[in-house]
Every structure is written in C-alpha cells, then in structure tokens.
Amino acid sequence: MKHFGIEIWGDNNFIIKKETINVNHGKQPSLLEITNHIREKGYKGPILLRFPHLIKKQLDTLFHAFKSAKKEFGYSGDFHAVFPLKVNQFPNFVDELMDVAKGYNYGLEAGSKAELIIAMSLTPIGSPITVNGFKDKEMIALCFIAAKMGHNITITIEGITELETIIQVDKELNNNVKKRVVPKIGVRIRLHSSGIGIWAKSGGYSSKFGLTSTELIEAYEMLKEYSLLDSLWMIHFHIGSQMGDIAPLKKALREAGNIYAELKKRGVESLKAINIGGGLAVEYSQHPYAQERNYSIKEFSNDVIYLMQEISKSKNVPEPDIFTESGRFIAANHSVLIAPVLELFSQEYNEKSLRLKEKNPPLVQELYDLYDFLKKTNAREYLHDALDHMESLLTLFDLGYIDLEDRSNTEILVNLIIKKTIQLLKDEDANELKQLQEKIQEKYLVNFSVFQSLPDFWGLGQNFPIVPLNKLDIKPTNPASIWDITCDSDGELGFKPKTPFYLHDIDVEEEEYFLAFFLTGAYQEVLGMKHNLFTHPTEAVIRFDKNGQYEADGLIEAQNLMDTLDDLDYDTSIIDKSLKNKIEESSNLTNDEKRELLGTLYLYLSENSYLKTIQALQK
Ligand SMILES: *Cc1c(COP(=O)(O)O)cnc(C)c1O
C-alpha cells in the first residue's frame, strides 16, 4: 500500500507533500499545521475538522455530471437534488451545506419530525423539501403547514394508511380557508429488484417501505376520489446506501420508469418527476483490490438520463424531472477526524529488554543463536524452528520447568526473529509472512472512541482510510492495529493480513503522532454512541479566504463532564453538592487542602472525557 492508498480514496482532496498530508486547496496547509493551531488554543483530545470547500466540490460534481448527461442526450426534464438530513444533521455541517448550495435550488430531505423542522427552517422558499419514512398525523400536518408557508414540499406516501391520514388532515386544515393548499404528493414504490451490499434492505419486495402495484392502483383511485390527483407528481424509490455495483440501480430505474409511464398513460397529468433516492457510493478503500465501487459519477448520471429517455421514448410520455437524494456522496469527504496516538503496546519486544542469564535453558539459547545467525538464505527454516521452540518453551513454562524471565526471553526472541525474517524476505510475496505479521503487530492506543466516531466500523465492518499526519517520507513498517480508549474490546481496528496496514515506529515520549480518519462525514456523527460517556469530539470548520489562507472557526468543544451527565438526566446540582460535601467532610484534609482540592475538582469538571495529554509530554 503506497501512500496509504490516497490515490484510491483521496479524489485529489489531500496530497502528500514530503513528510505531511496536506489539504489540496488554497495554500495547501498540512493537516498537522491545522491540528497544532487548534490544539494551541487548549483543545486536546480528538478533533473533527470540517472542510466546506469539499462539500461544495461534491455538489458541483453532482450537478455538473447531470448537466453534462442531460446535454449529451438532449434530455428535456430538469435535474434537482435534496440532502437527506439523516446522513448528517449537525449545524456546522448543514449551515455550510446550505451556504455553498446557493444557486443550485438545493433542498433538504426529512425522515422525522425533528428533521422536518430543520428542513422547514433552513430550506429557502421555492427549493424542494422531500419527506420520507413513516409519518403520523402530526408529521403530515407539519407538511401541510410547510406548504401553507409557501414551501415546495413533497410528501412521499409509503403506505395506504398514510394516504388516508393525508386525506383527513386535508379536510381538517383546509376547512374554511381562503385557499386550499396541499403539499405535493409522491409515492414510494416497492421495487421488485433490490440493492446489494450491507445496506441493501431499503429496496426489494421485503423492504420496510413502498407501495406494491396493487396498492399503487388503490392509491391512484383514492387520490382521484378526494380530488388530490393533481398533487401527485413524483415517483420515489431508494435502493439502499453505498451501492457498490451499478446493475441494481439500472434495474430499479427501468422498473420506476415504467411505473411512471403507466401512471402517465392513466392520465395523471401532474406526474412529472422520478426521485431516485440515494445510494451513490463513496470509495473508502485503501487497497486497490478491495475497492467498493465499480462505476464513476459520470457513468451513474449517464445511466439515469439514458434509461429515463429510453423508457419515455418507447412509451411516448414526456421525459420526467430527475430528483436525487444522495447523502453519503455529498457529506462523506467533508470531515476528517484527527486523533493523537497515546501509546504503543509492544515496544518491550526489543533486544534491550532481553534478560539473558549466564546459563539459559538450552532452547532459549538456541533461539538466541537462531536470531544471531539469521540471514536471507536460512530465514524460512530458522523461522519455523523458532516457532517450534516457542511452543515447547511455553509448555515447559506451564509445567514449571522454566521461569518468567525465560518465558519473557522466548517471547522477545521469537518476535525479533519474525520481524527480521519479514524484513529479510520482504521481496517475496509469501502468504505465510503476511499471516505472521498478525503475530507481531504493534498496538497503537489512540485518543478517540470507535463507538462515537466510527460506529459503522463497529456495527458493519465499514473501513475508513487512515493516514498518519507526518513521517510520510518514511516507509511505515509496523503492522498496526488501533485501539481506542473505551474499555471495550470491540473498540479496536485490528490488523488484517488481507488488507495489511502499517504505521511508523515512534516513541511517544519524544514526539507526537496523530492519525487522521478520512471520509467520516456521512452517518458517523449522529450514529455515534456515547459508550463509556465519550461524547462528540471537539469540532472546527476550516475555511479558506480569497488568498488561500485557512481559518479555523465554528469551534465547538466536546461536552464537559457535567453537561454529559446532565444529558443523561442526572441532576447535576445533586452531584455537585455530593462531591463538595464529601470533600468538606473528609477528615483526611486540612481546610486549605479542601479549598485547593475543590479548585482542582472544578477544573476537571469543566473538561471532557477524552484523555488530555501524553503523560511524558506533560512537563
Ligand atoms: C438514507 C436515504 C438516502 C440517502 O442515501 P445515501 O446512500 O446516503 O445517498 C436517500 N433517500 C432515502 C429515502 C433514504 O432513506
């Protein structure tokens, strides 16, 4: 893996310049420089950096791709897009998104009442809002309120009962009014075809969502009966997220296109749009042979436009407007999580730590000789001998024949032999050697929580590209696994021989070493869990001015301890009082000591759960 696979996942957003990884924008500051700049202000622990220029880039790319495709095929329908809020509802993201989206008539998609309130307040009047998912009467009423405000809002019917509620709300809210105002109506269709991959459940016949053909005809009749047919204007489907293969999309497009044409032929004049949902994938892989996406955005947009045109032509209906609700594609690359490495866990395996005796057990002595005489021509044989000896020595220890120091020497020597063998045979692509790396992996303790910041790794095994912030001019050689600071053994990104990952050998007592986790902008933040009460990390928005100079603002510090407890509905005034009383009533302390301890305690209470400093650097 050269340069941490940046040419696979990086999309030219970041570049490696000598020893650092830099933002490929403006004056190209390194991520290390930006990180240090923020940490100098006193923010420690993990930091989430947001880059609005990357949100803009994704929007530009999406709109440009469809504009080009429309031009290429001479397509007459319009193209529109909305952002599905469930992908990232954080204000520092959504505000920037709406800011860079000016000029695109871009809107928001909501799947719950709280999201709908965000959409109603942040979408400019006239830009589209779409509302999907299960809805109760109140949520449908909110859609009517939005429409009455003047919003261009489409409510997607996911089932027949929802339509019944819409009819009821229409009667209630449009009774005795100057003008009957109804939201635009879309119908989600239950696809025969389904998506693939780990997020595929959104499509297909067993999907939670959508109307079957029978229900669709029923809905059509109900809309007609209640004179709502004029509001039906959109067909909607969503085949699932992170669609790696384009084939299921094509199938879904054919299905949806034909349903659109059928309804048109039944005389649904107002029907005008097909909403293709999300699913546009992001390349997360750092390894060429593990890539997650088999198509480009150009292929994607061309397929959509081409297929819709084909169907419209053959069924002799007008070409529909195309809506997308791509979320992952828009949000994923905008944020980078930076986390400090606190410690390395197998440093004891070096020659200095050997405690050889005057007289060692013969097998230990032999291990030492194997290590001493190891060279390229005998490496494989010696390695096998060493592994064999280790088994015997560990058995001898269990039976009480050798002591703890002998056992420690055994572990160190075998570890050194494996490392040296890998080094000597590094030009041979032997599977055995790759497997061995698992045995000598270095464990990097990193100041972050997998549960909070990479929940899709924990839940679904989704990989995220990881790159250290510096030393990139040196080839990393330690097979690495990454441990977070939660007390949970699932909080580990283990070393995988199939997609090996290496980091540098460093001495954390001497130098700081940070890891950057890329493509964390979609889903991770709000899915993040407060396991062990590690909360959303400190965040900053990195903006570039006209001269290409960067500025860090929008700083929001990770929640302090008391606010974290308050969020769990603890009565923090009781906690406060209890802590105070316990110090004041302690017989261990003089009055002066009590005052001093209280001061220290309150300082700590104002900080967050993440670890603050690498102890040795604390000075
Ligand atoms: C989740 C969702 C999306 C977003 O999907 P991405 O894969 O993030 O683009 C779009 N539409 C609907 C209806 C969704 O549920």
> In this model, does residue 39 exceed pLDDT 80?
yes
Q: How far is the CA of 473 from the centre of ligand 1 (A)?
A: 39
Beta bridge partners of 514: 340
Q: What is the average per-residue pLDDT within 330-344? A: 96
What fold, for 561-618? Helix Hairpins (1.10.287)
- Buried-exposed string 407-442: b where 16+ CB fall within 10 A, e elsewhere: bebbbbbbbbbbbbbbebbeeeeeeebeebbeebbb
- Residue 203: per-residue pLDDT: 55
Output the residue whose Cα is nearest ligand 1's atom 3: 278
Contact, 369 vs 49, CB < 8 A? no
Q: Quick check: 323 pLDDT over 60?
A: yes
Residues within a 6 A CB radius of ligand 1: 84, 86-87, 132, 238, 241, 277-280, 325-329
pLDDT of amino acid 32: 98
The total number of residues written for the chain in this structure? 619
How far, in Å, from the CA of 91 to the mean position of ligand 1? Answer: 19
Q: Which helix (H) or strand (E) holds 80?
A: strand 79-84
pLDDT, position 618: 46
Report percent pLDDT > 70 for the chain: 95
Averaged pLDDT of the chain:
93
Fold of 353-438: Methane Monooxygenase Hydroxylase; Chain G, domain 1 (1.20.58)
CB atoms within 10 A of CB 249: 24
- Domains 2-50+336-346+442-556 and 353-438 belong to one CATH topology: no
Classify residue 206 as exposed, middle or buried by CB count within 10 Å of its CB (0-12, 13-18, 19+). Answer: exposed
Residue whose entry in the numeric block shows the structure tokens 């070409």: 319
pLDDT computed for residue 325 by the predictor: 97
Cβ atoms within 10 Å of 147's Cβ, excluding its own: 20
Determine the pLDDT at residue 2.
Answer: 73
Q: CATH classification of 2-50+336-346+442-556, choosing from 3.90.226.10, 3.40.30.10, 2.40.37.10, 3.40.640.10?
A: 2.40.37.10
Q: How confident is the model at residue 255 (pLDDT cuts 50, 70, 90)?
A: very high
Fold exhibited by the domain 133-281+288-324: TIM Barrel (3.20.20)
| Contacts (Cβ under 8 Å, ≥6 apart) of 386 | 367, 370, 371, 413, 414, 417, 418
Beta strands in 88-167 (DSSP E): 107-110, 128-131, 152-157
Q: What is the pLDDT of residues 137-160, one digit of tens each?
A: 999 999 999 999 999 999 999 999
DSSP state of 499: S
What is the three-class DSSP state of 258? helix
At 450, give phi and psi (nearest 5°): -60, -40
| 507 sits in which H/E element | none
pLDDT in tens, 185-244: 999 998 876 554 444 555 555 566 789 989 999 999 999 999 999 999 999 999 889 999
State the distance from the centre of ligand 1 to the C-alpha of 239, rounded, in angstroms.
8
Tell me the domain boundaries of the chain: 2-50+336-346+442-556, 133-281+288-324, 353-438, 561-618
Alpha-carbon span 341 to 110, nearest angstrom:
38
Cα 323 to ligand 1 centroid, rounded to whole Å: 12
pLDDT per position as a tens digit, 262-314: 999 999 999 999 999 999 999 999 999 999 999 999 999 999 999 999 999 99
* pLDDT tens figures, 400-429: 999 999 999 999 999 899 888 888 887 776
pLDDT confidence tier of residue 328, bands split at 50, 70 and 90: very high
- Residues 92-142 have pLDDT tens digits of 999 999 999 999 999 999 999 999 999 999 999 999 999 999 999 999 999
Q: Which atom from ligand 1 is nearest to the alpha carbon of 331?
A: 8
From 88, 109, 324, give the residue whose CB has the most ligand 1 atoms within 8 Å, as the site to mutate: 109
